[in-house]
Amino acid sequence: MRIVAGLGNPGDRYALHRHNVGFMLVDQLAADYGFSPWKAKHGGLLAEGRIDAEKIILFKPQSYMNKSGLPVETLLHFYRMSADDLIVVHDEIDLAAGKIRVKIDGGHGGHNGLRDIDRHIGTAYWRLRIGVGRSRFKAEVDQHVLSDFDKNDRTWLDPLLSVLSDLWPCWQTKGHEAFMTAVSQKAPPPEDKDKETIATSDDSKLGKEKTNGL
């Protein structure tokens, strides 16, 4: 059994924010694989099901992003599972829009959801990082992640979420490296036509600050 926790902020006002891409992917998995209806448990919303032969618990903490740790810890304790049974899905500004990375363990990189999870359970859990890139308009980090994906973003986001869901069994049977390769082939990230303007000293400074909000 494995737990897949998508990070985000609860409520309609946040639903389409870049910061909520973790919620979006677990919603996609629940719909595509016929999971149970979402139920309020352990400080979050929980759905149960199977992807191929593996039982999966999908989880969306409802405590806001920067308080994600306690619900995740409570869920792990209830099921008597360890940190390496957990996959956390989250947005990543230091990845170009549409890119993904999978790793186990490591730092939080300034992401407040990960920071709080680290505080409660340590760092030895899996992370699926979904790149949302940086603002083309030099917006502050909080403003960028706490705003909706725009129309252009949907051209890569919707196919990526679909492919991540479709290829999830590849991760289970062939490992995370094969999964990342397959995803990049089926849902390549968009070309960044503005990369020369984004890579400014201002953006480098933003990268150090990261988000201190929700």
Say what the pTM is: 0.88
Q: Give catalytic residues, as residue numbers.
A: 19
Annotated domain spans of the chain? 2-209
- CATH dotted code for 2-209: 3.40.50.1470
φ, ψ for residue 152, nearest 5 deg: -65, -35
The pLDDT value recorded for residue 140 is 76
Distance (Å, rounded) from C-alpha 106 to C-alpha 208?
17
**149-194 pLDDT tens trace:** 999 999 999 999 999 999 999 999 999 999 999 999 999 999 865 5
Give Cβ neighbours of residue 68 (< 8 Å, ≥ 6 apart).
Answer: 5, 7, 61, 113, 116, 117
Sign of CA dihedral 80, 85, 89, 93: positive
How much is the pLDDT for 28? 98
Residues 6+ apart with CB under 8 A from 202: 138
How many angstroms separate the Cα of 140 from the Cα of each of 204, 206, 211?
Answer: 12, 7, 9
pLDDT at residue 193, rounded to an integer: 52
Cβ atoms of 164 and 28 closer than 8 Å:
yes
pLDDT for 33 equals: 98
Q: Which of 23-32, 37-46, 126-135 has the lowest mean pLDDT?
A: 126-135
